[in-house]
Amino acid sequence: MDTAVLDLIRRSRRVLAICHVGPDGDAIGSLLGLGWALKAMGKEVTLACADPVPPFYRYLPGQGEIVRRPEGMFDLVISLDCSDKERLGDAYREEYHALPLLNIDHHVTNQYFGTANLVDPEAASTAEIVFLLLDELGLPIDPPMAQCLLTGIVTDTRGFRTASSTPRVLAIANRLMAAGASLPEIVSRTLERRPLAMIRLWGQALPGAQLRGKILWTEITEAMRAEAGLTTVDDGGLVNFLLTAEEAEVAVVFSEKNGGQEVEVSFRARPGWDVAQVALSLGGGGHMLASGATVRGGLAEVRERVLALLEESLAAQERARRET
Ligand code: 5GP
Ligand code: MN
C-alpha cells in the first residue's frame, strides 16, 4: 500500500472524514468503520455527510455522531466513496480546501483529486478498501467496526450478488463476521426492508416502464413521490429490479428533483456493458455496471437526451465487440 497514504494517517491528530451526498450503505458504513478505527488509534475524529443518514442505516453504531456541517479545524480530511470532490457537498467547507486530502474510493471514474489517493476500482466497496487499510495499519477489528464495514460490503454487492463479489470480498466478509459483525442483521436491515411508501411509489412508476431496444427505463415524478408520501430522492432499488426483466440489458430510472429543475439518473447494466462512461459524460460517475448522474433540465428533455446518448454508447460498445 502507498506509504503516502499510511503516512498521512499516522501523522494526523484531528481528522475530518466525509462521505458522499445522498449516502448509501457503503458511504455510511465506510465512514463509520473508519471513524471507529481512527478513534481506536487515539485520534480526534469528526464524521460528516452533507445529507442526513437514511433511517434504515440508523442501526449502525456511531451514526448519531455524523454531522452535516463540520465545525473547527483539522489536520487531515478523508473523502470516502466519492469519485469527485463535488460529491463531498457542503460538508467540505471552503476553509478545509487547503488541508491534505486523502481520497479513498472504488469508482472506476475516480478523479484522483486527493493529496494521496487510495483508489481501487476492482474493490466491490469502499468499506473493503478501508478494511485492507486497517489491516495494513495493524489495527485489530472490533465488533462496531466490523458491523459498519460489512454493511458497506453487503449493500454495494446487494448481498454478494454483483459481478464485483470476488473471493477477496468473501474472505473479508468472513473476517468481519469472525470479528463480530452480524450478516443476517445487516441483510434484514438494509436489503430486506423498505418503507411501504416506497413500494407504493414502485407501484406508480412500474406501469410506465418502457423498453427501448435493450434499455428498460421508467421515471419518477415529484408528484408521484408526494402521492406516495416520500421526501427522499432515492428509488429504493427500483433500477436494480428493472434490470431483472429478461428483455433488459440496461435499466435506467429518471427521478425528477429540485422542483423539476434537475433529474437524478440511475443506470444499471448486465455484465458485458459499461454505463460508467455515459454517467461520466453527464457529469456523474460510478462503476461499469452501476452508475449515476444529476442532470440539469426538465424530466422529458433530460430523458430523451440521456436515452439517445446511452443508445449511442451501447451501439459503439457493440461495434467494438464485433471488431475484436
Ligand atoms: P445509484 O444509482 O445507486 O444512486 O448510484 C450508482 C452508482 O453511481 C454509485 O456508485 C454512485 O456513487 C454513483 N453515482 C450516482 N449518482 C452520482 C452522481 O450524481 N455523481 C457521481 N459522481 N456518481 C454518482
Ligand atoms: Mn461504494
The string of DSSP letters for 236-265 reads TTHHHHHTTSTT-SEEEEEEEETTTTEEEE
Ligand 1 centroid – CA 226 distance (Å): 23
Please state the atom number of ligand 1 nearest to the C-alpha of residue 268. 2
What integer pLDDT is reported at residue 324 of this predicted model?
83
Ligand index nearest the alpha carbon of residue 20: 1
Q: Which atom of ligand 1 is nearest to the CA of 267?
A: 2
pLDDT at 276: 98
Ligand 1 pocket check for 236: Cβ under 6 Å: no
Phi, then psi, of 305 in degrees rounded to 5: -65, -45
**pLDDT for residue 295:** 98
Q: Which of 49, 83, 217 to mutate to test the pocket of ligand 1 (most atoms within 8 A of CB)?
A: 83
CA of 179 to the centre of ligand 2 (A): 22
The pLDDT of residue 235: 96
Q: What is the pLDDT of residues 150-204, one digit of tens each?
A: 999 999 999 999 999 999 999 999 999 999 999 999 999 999 999 999 999 999 9
Tell how far the Cα of 227 is from the centroid of ligand 2, in angstroms: 30
Q: Tell me what pLDDT residue 35 has.
A: 98
Ligand 1 site, residue 251, Cβ cutoff 6 A? no
Residues of the chain with pLDDT under 50: none
pLDDT at site 232: 85
Q: What are phi and psi of 26, to 5 degrees?
A: -75, -35
Is 155 close to ligand 1, i.e. is its CB under 6 Å away?
Answer: no
CA 42–ligand 1 middle distance (angstroms)? 33
Residues near 153 by Cβ (< 8 Å), separated by ≥ 6?
26, 29, 124, 125, 127, 128, 169, 172, 173, 176
